[in-house]
A = this chain, B = another copy of it.
Amino acid sequence: MTVHLDRRGFVLAAGGAIAASAIGGSALAQPAGRKLGYAIVGLGGYGLGQIIPQFKNCQHSRLVALVSGDAAKAKRVAAEYGVPPSGIYDYNNFDRIRDNPEVDIVYVCLPVSMHAEYTIRAAKAGKHVLCEKPMALSSKECEAMIAACRQAGKKLMIGYRCHFEPTNLEAIRRARAGEIGKLRYFRSEHGYTAGDPTAWRLKKAMSGGGSIMDIGIYALQAARYMTGEEPVAVYAKETTDRNDPRFREVEDMIEFQLEFPSGVIGSCMSMYSANRNQVLLMGDKGRIEMEPATGYSGQRLWVGRGRENEIQPPPGPGRNQFAGQLDHLSQCVIENREPVVPGEEGLRDIRIIEAVYQSAREKRRIALKA
């Protein structure tokens, strides 16, 4: 993960002068200043509520197409955001997006079970892909997605928005700069109260799992980007009230411990039965704390011996993390470089989550392959 810092440093440096710094074949093919066109696949709460409204904050990205199974909804959203009728697709005619030169990038905002299919179909249609987290139901699906995008010569990025969030970026910078000394311990707890028992997130076939897939993955991601290390082993305990109608199929709470090569221990927990969103990194000279750590907004950061020293981070790469994420992939396409959170990054998390589930099932420590 150390490489991310360098890459990110580059992203930040390039932020203000993207046209001038654009190099490579695909970049030369783009008219200077052109905004890349996004198709949003899935008009659910996240795509419609969080992502679509962000294009107005983007420098290098614009909304040009929508994919939805609900024609009336698609028409209404298209009208609101200026997407032409020719940019409206459904799940049957989705592959025709290949013939739409306005679409450079397909952003997959679907239930997890549909990530692999739509990523692969988008790549086959000749489009770059931004896919929401968790990347897919299994590492096998992730590998197929990576292979499909590689074969098509297209970028694949995972929607790990915290890599574009100023508070997290500043926390990472200070950890790497040694401000809290030698790192010893990481902890993150992420949770929220799940409501509607019929939500797709609570259906295993659609979500792939419970709280760890949806929200615990933020704790796992943070464990990796805050320490800059890859875990070598995991141990996990899951506990769920299976009589609760919300948790017939997926886990409520899971606590997992990560062993890092340097001796850092990562202690992570996710749950669907209470609200929680925090990150703590302890070194032998102080601590870095974020709470909330990975929300849509409102992050707070403290660095020092306790919470005496609250930090106001410098601006991130975009007007906010969502716009920063959208523009990052556009810039990567323009400049023909790899995103800071490529498919391989999503695959790594899914492999660890698979080991976490295996550990919880078998009640034993699982060593992770390097």
Contact = CB atoms under 8 A, between A and B. Distances in A.
A237 B265 contact: yes
A109 B73 CA distance: 73
* From A184, A263, A271, residue with most partner B Cβ within 10 Å: A184
A38 interface: no
Nearest to A291: B306
* From A257, A285, A287, A305, residue with most partner B Cβ within 10 Å: A257
B253 A265 contact: yes
Interface in A226-241: 235, 237, 239-241
A255 B189 contact: no
A307 to B, nearest CB: 9
Given A253-B265, A255-B257, A257-B237, A283 B274 contact: yes
Given A235-B235, A274-B287, A276-B282, A184 B263 contact: no
26 contacts: A184-B239, A184-B252, A184-B271, A184-B273, A184-B274, A185-B189, A185-B269, A185-B271, A185-B274, A187-B267, A187-B269, A235-B237, A235-B365, A237-B259, A239-B265, A255-B267, A267-B269, A271-B282, A273-B284, A274-B282, A274-B283, A274-B284, A274-B285, A276-B282, A276-B287, A363-B365
A182 B247 CA distance: 16
A252 to B, nearest CB: 8
Interface of A: 182, 184-185, 187, 189, 193, 235, 237, 239-241, 252-253, 255, 257, 259, 263-265, 267, 269, 271, 273-276, 282-287, 305, 363-365
A280 to B, nearest CB: 8
A47 B69 CA distance: 73
Contacts of A184: 239, 252-253, 271, 273-274
Contacts of A264: 239
Nearest to A252: B184
A252 B263 CA distance: 11
Contacts of A285: 274
A253 B193 contact: no
